[in-house]
Amino acid sequence: MKKTQKILLIILILIFLSIGFMVRGKSEGILFDVSVLEFIQGNESPILFKLMKGISFIGSGYFLFPIILIVSIYILIKKEYYILKLLLGSTLGCYSLNFLLKQLFQRTRPLDFFLVEQSGLSYPSGHSMVTMSLYLTIAYLITKNQDDIKKRRYIYLLAFLMILLMGISRIYLGVHWPTDVLGGYIMGYVFYNINLKIMKE
C-alpha cells in the first residue's frame, strides 16, 4: 500500500470517528442530516418509492446472502480461492464490522422520516458500507487483468453508480440519516482497501 493511500485511509478513519462520536447515542440529525432528508423525500412518488425500495432490497442480507452462498459454492468448485476470500471478506467480514460499529455508536434511526419499517441501529449504514466494499471488490476482480483503460473506467463508474443509488435509496426511504450513509461509504472504502491488502493472491 502506497504512503499516500495510507494517509488517505487514516484521514478517512478520523472523519468517520469524528462523525461517529458526534452522533453517538443520539436520536436527532446533525450537520446537513435533516435538510438533505427533507430535500430527497420532497420528491416522493409511488414509482420512485418502488424503485428505491427495490434498490434497497438488492443491498440487503435477504438478497445478498443467498447470492453470495451460490457464487461461493461455484467459486469453491472452480478452486478460485483468492476470489472466494475477497468476496467473503467484502460481504461477511464487512457485515460483521458494521454490526460491531453500530453497537459502539448506538445511534437511533430517523424515526420521523420512515417510509418503511426498519429495526436496528443507524450509524454507519450497513447497506452503504457493504455495497461500497462489495461493488469495488467486484470491479477490481473484473478489471485486474483488463488492459483497456476505457473499459476499466466504465466498470468502476457503474460500480460507483450502484453504490450512490444504494445510499440515496436508504435516505429516501427515511431509514438512515445522510451522515449514516456517509459513514458507511467511508468505512466500506477503508474496509475494501484493507481486505485487498490482507487477502493477498
Please name the amino acid found at residue 173. L
pLDDT tens-digit series, residues 66-113: 999 999 999 989 888 899 999 999 999 999 999 999 999 999 999 999
DSSP string, 15-36: HHHHHHHHHTT--S--TTHHHH
Looking at residue 201, its pLDDT comes to 59
**Catalytic status, residue 113:** no
pLDDT tens-digit map of 15-34: 999 999 999 999 999 989 99
Site of grid cell 440487503: 60
Catalytic: which of 107, 109, 127, 170?
Answer: 127
Query: Is 127 marked active-site?
Result: yes
Q: Is 160 exposed, middle or buried (0-12, 13-18, 19+ CB in 10 A)?
A: middle
Of the residues 84, 176, 181, 195, only one is catalytic, namely 176
Report the candidate in 44, 172, 25 with the shortest Cα–Cα distance to residue 105: 25
Global model pTM greater than 0.85: yes
